[in-house]
Amino acid sequence: FRIMAGKVKWVTDIEKSVLINNFEKRGWIQVAENEDWNFYWMSVQTIRNVFSVETGYRLSDDQIVNHFPNHYELTRKDLMVKNIKRYRKELEKEGSPLAEKDENGKYIYLDFVPVTFMLPADYNLFVEEFRKNPSSTWIMKPCGKAQGKGIFLINKLSQIKKWSRDSKTSSFVSQSSKEAYVISLYINNPLLIGGKKFDLRLYVLVSTYRPLRCYMYKLGFCRFCTVKYTPSTSELDNMFVHLTNVAIQKHGDDYNHIHGGKWTVSNLRLYLESTRGKEVTSKLFDEIHWIIVQSLKAVAPVMNNDKHCFECYGYDIIIDDKLKPWLIEVNASPSLTSSTANDRILKYNLINDTLNIAVPNGEIPDCKWNKSPPKEVLGNYEVLYDEEMAQSDGPERDLRSRPGQSTGAKGNRARDLGKPVLTTWK
């Protein structure tokens, strides 16, 4: 029973027009951080402050923020891998069929993150793995950075000597986490289109982790490198060949400002269906949805499921030439910068649909609500996984059969009439 029917008061520390235009079009009122606010779209630094022991404060029932307090369990490269490894081990211990392994010891259903080690902590483990395959290429990524900063490729142990020296010292614990790196097996056989490497950026909205309720934005896109792909060792240093981040590619000679090197996911789907066939394409997209849901399930137990929070993640996925998708990383603050006109429209609509789900009816929020928006407000989102719904389907569902509906951006085929799509596997 609402006493006041005032306008939503918003704050943001991210000055992006796609955000501000969306707030203004709802007639919301901009306020300062220290005033009474209902909605705060914050950067990851700010969320750290809000929930920190020293500077934090309690949020009231009519306040909503766009990050979960410990989102880094998913969005830091090292923690993501740690959580997924832990999740897999737990399932294995339980004897869950999901954790089944093949004859080579690889997980059949849960092998979606390239082999990864933390440096300097796991240096020796890494060396052991490296020596099994000395001609392999590995990719070094700083744990705390984004936009492709600080990433480089190696194919010789000597190139990462720095981390081996440090691991021998007993005081590596004092090493600031900013210098921590992850090293992953580089996917040197990416699926190429027109000879170029690309990755997928997909947006996933999580409104609650327990029960898990997440939505996938139908309008994801592919980001292409401007330079032809080659696994040749002479080009390992050429970031224009290997890294798809727009922040990197836009400095290349051939970067085009009209299309920005981006393709819609529906284009990708059309191309794959036409050249590879429908079954393998549907299977690919099902697998992509699967790995997203599994990654969220992996971190759900450790997530602070604060009811004031929702989060819109940017998932980066690479498809290899055997049409297997790999989860590369998850971004807590996907870029809201628009590199092209189409981009601006897409991001504007993304925020619009996100706000419609997170702040129902555009009214002053009540964080006690059940977080179950009606189907009509989803916009370009569709339900990826709804734990409550899935559980109410009963335990007789076979975990191994994943009929999973294809939801490529081209079609929203809700064949389970009335039920949310994609909840056919638990």
Partner 1 sequence: LDPDRGLSLTIARVVQRLQGSSLHSQLERQARGSLHKPEIKLESLKEDIKEFLKRSGWEKKLQNAVYSELNVFPSPCHPAAPPEHIKEPLAYMRKAQGSWEKRILKSLNSMCTELSIPLAQKRPANEQKELLNKWNEMGTDEPDLSLFRPVYAPKDFLEVLMNLRNPNCENGEQPSFRNHLGLIQVPLKVKDISELKEDFCELGLNIGQLGIDDSAQVPPEFFENEHVRVGQKVLAEQDSAAAQQYVRQGCPTALRADLWALILNISNQPEDILYYEQLKSNVIQHNLLVDSLIYKDVKLTASNDDYYFVFEDYLYQVLLCFSRDTSVLEHFTYSSATPPKSYIQGKLGMEEYAVFYPPNVNYNSFILSVAPLCFLYHEPSKLYQIFREMYVRFFFRLHSISSHPSGIVSLCLLFETLLQTHLPQLFYHLREIGAQPLRISFKWMVRAFSGYLATDQLLLLWDRILGYNSLEILAVLAAAVFAFRAVNLMEVTSLAAAEAVLADLSTLKVMPLLQIFLFATVT
Measured in residues, the chain has a length of 426
Residue 419 touching partner 1 (CB under 8 A): no
Least Å distance, CB 375 to partner 1, is 14
Which C-beta is closer to partner 1: that of 56 or that of 277?
A: 277
Least Å distance, CB 278 to partner 1, is 4
Q: How many residues bind partner 1 (CB under 8 A)?
A: 32
- Kindly identify the residues of this chain, within the stretch 258-287, that bind partner 1 according to CB under 8 A: 258-259, 261-263, 266-267, 270-271, 273-275, 277-278, 281
Binding mask 335-374 for partner 1 (x = CB under 8 A): -------x--------------------------------
Interface region with partner 1, contact rule CB under 8 A, candidates 83-91, 117-125, 296-304, 413-421: 413-421
Which C-beta is closer to partner 1: that of 133 or that of 274?
A: 274
Residue 95 touching partner 1 (CB under 8 A): no
Place of tokens 């210098």: 179
Which C-beta is closer to partner 1: that of 274 or that of 372?
A: 274
Of 383, 364, 367, nearest to 375 by C-alpha is: 383
Least Å distance, CB 345 to partner 1, is 12
Interface region with partner 1, contact rule CB under 8 A, candidates 141-149, 172-180, 289-297, 411-419: 411-419
Which C-beta is closer to partner 1: that of 172 or that of 271?
A: 271
Indicate which single residue of 228, 251, 375, 397 sits in contact with partner 1 (rule: CB under 8 A).
Answer: 228
Residue 203 touching partner 1 (CB under 8 A): no
Binding mask 159-198 for partner 1 (x = CB under 8 A): ----------------------------------xxxx--
Which C-beta is closer to partner 1: that of 256 or that of 335?
A: 256
Interface region with partner 1, contact rule CB under 8 A, candidates 26-34, 111-119, 224-232, 307-315: 224-232
Which residues would be at the binding site for partner 1 (CB under 8 A)?
A: 193-196, 224, 227-228, 253-254, 256, 258-259, 261-263, 266-267, 270-271, 273-275, 277-278, 281, 342, 410-415
